[in-house]
Structure 1
Amino acid sequence: MKFEEKTIATEPIFSGRVIQVQVDTVTLPDGEQAKREIVKHPGAVGIIPITADGKLIVVEQYRKALNRSIVEIPAGKIEPGEDLTVCALRELEEETGYGTQNLTYLQEVVTSPGFCDEVVHIFVARDIFKLDNPAALDDDEFVEMSAITLEEAQNLMAQGAICDAKTIIAVMWLYNQQRK
């Protein structure tokens, strides 16, 4: 691999409920050594739920790392051994109360490759329908769902309320779809 850094030692630093942190000692392409601080993440899914009238379903939630609420597409962590489609359907149901039988894999997004191995798998959910008895949110999860137009999404981006990569990708994807 071009510019490959070979790991010669790994020092675990922290192991939490969602992430693990480690420091790797690597050999650089020129033979020198360097340290790399790495966050290990199990991966996640993000869902772009589109209503029959072309609106985007989003959730607003507080993000402690940012110390503020932001508007995002529904998303969540992949459980160990969980199929990506099963995870996407579960997160769509838990966060929005919607279901679908029309779920399409769009792409993967690497969120912060300079220090984190997290990959978010993006799905598009069409023909969504409200579920009578949806699964509950996680105990530590509080969200407010809404359906927004593309114009509203673009305004939220301009205001900084939509600022995460997966949701910006969703808005850009929706924009491109509506231009066709």
Structure 2
Amino acid sequence: MMDMREKQLSYEYFFEGHIMKARLDQALLPNGKTAPREVCEHVGGVGVLPIDRDGNIIMVRQFRYPYAEEILEIPAGKLDHGEGESIADCGARELKEETGCTAGRIVPLGCVYPSPGFLTEVVHLFAALDLAEGEMQPDEDEFVEVVRLPIAEVEQMIVRDEIRDAKTMAALYRAKLKGLY
């Protein structure tokens, strides 16, 4: 089997923000040549698929600035609360903030790489089961609408290209494969 690893020779940061950094690397390729690699380092995040006792998915609709449109997706957030917060705790926090729900059970669904060609972000996925309803606690810069839909309708919305969010599709599919619905 061919060794396809590339080795970083140099790097230069062009932007350093709160949740991401952008850099340009020079990489040594397996054939001995070099190539530029644009890399966006991201803090990572979580996505939580809340499934209620009636077989509905609790989703959020929110405006996503990079796409200039409202997107229907599962509750999600960044791993930006420091070392003291576990990944599962981050998922539980985001679930509570965006939907008001707390989960009796959080089931890991693995992780996904949203755009591995340039982005280091890893999104950790969970299913939230045995839900208890409560008050939403959105961040002050977060405006979300909770939408509760039957699983079959969410699946059909994916088929009709009405749901395009990758973490939502991956979480739903993994939950199905694990027999969670």
Normalised by the size of structure 2, how large is the TM-score? 0.91
Whole-Å separation in 2 of the counterparts to 1:165 and 1:112: 10
Deviations 1:92-132 (A, max 9, x none): 0000000013111111101100000110000111101012x
Q: Does 1:61 align with 2:62?
A: yes
Matches within 5 A, 1:38-77: 38-77=39-78
Q: Does 1:102 align with 2:133?
A: no
Among the aligned pairs, what percent are the same residue? Answer: 38
2:126·2:171 contact (CA, 8 Å) conserved in 1? no
Whole-Å separation in 1 of the counterparts to 2:149 and 2:62: 16
Whole-Å separation in 2 of the counterparts to 1:165 and 1:34: 29
2:104·2:132 contact (CA, 8 Å) conserved in 1? no
**Alignment match, 1:31:** 32
Q: Alignment partner of 2:23: what SS?
A: strand
Q: Alpha carbon RMSD of aligned pairs, Å?
A: 1.9
Whole-Å separation in 2 of the counterparts to 1:39 and 1:54: 37
Give the CA deviation at 1:168.
1.0
**Alignment match, 2:15:** 14
Moved more, 148-157 or 15-24: 148-157
Q: Give the letter aligned to residue 73 of structure 1.
A: I
Give the CA deviation at 1:175.
4.6
For structure 1, the residue ranges without an aligned partner over 5 or more in a row are none
1:69·1:161 contact (CA, 8 Å) conserved in 2? no
Q: Give the letter aligned to residue 141 of structure 2.
A: D
For structure 2, the residue ranges without an aligned partner over 5 or more in a row are none
Whole-Å separation in 2 of the counterparts to 1:20 and 1:160: 31
2:109·2:175 contact (CA, 8 Å) conserved in 1? no
Q: Give the letter aligned to residue 152 of structure 2.
A: E
Matches within 5 A, 1:64-143: 64-79=65-80, 80-81=82-83, 82-131=85-134, 133-134=135-136, 136-143=137-144
Normalised by the size of structure 1, how large is the TM-score? 0.91
Q: Alignment partner of 2:61: what SS?
A: strand
Whole-Å separation in 2 of the counterparts to 1:159 and 1:45: 25
Q: Give the letter aligned to residue 19 of structure 1.
A: M
Give the CA deviation at 1:178.
6.6
Give the CA deviation at 1:36.
0.3
2:76·2:91 contact (CA, 8 Å) conserved in 1? yes
